[in-house]
Amino acid sequence: MTEHFGLSDAFLILTGAVERNVQAISDAVEDALNDAGVRTIRREGRESGRWVLLDFGDLIVHVFHQEERDFYQLERLWQDCPVIDVSGMLETPAAAASAPAGSDA
């Protein structure tokens, strides 16, 4: 993204089904990154739960309600930027729930 948007290296775009889900996702992302030592520079939109923006400097996280994601279509707006596939880095809830305590599932 740096070539097209000098203020950040990457966007992470996530979607929640309802407002409370959007808020919960944004809280979990922010907590995990803060716990990893990444400081939140700015947070916007959490109260409405429709589009939460979390600015971590090199990473900007957008957590959308599905309707807002469909409307704003950030992927189309930034289609010239490379896509980073993070699917292999994600832990699925089912895998986390079935893993024995203390294991690295």
Pick 25 or 58 by higher pLDDT.
25
The confidence score (pLDDT) of residue 76 equals 84
Which residue ranges form the domains of the chain, and what is each CATH number? 10-84 (3.30.460.10)
Is residue 82 very low, low, confident or very high in pLDDT (cuts 50, 70, 90)? Answer: confident
Please choose, from the candidates 47, 57, 7, the residue with its C-alpha nearest in 3D space to the C-alpha of residue 27.
47
DSSP state of 56: -
Instruction: Name the residue with higher pLDDT: 97 or 1.
Output: 97
Rounded CA-CA distance 69/94 in Å is 26
Average pLDDT of the residues of the chain:
82
What is residue 80's predicted lDDT score, i.e. its pLDDT?
79
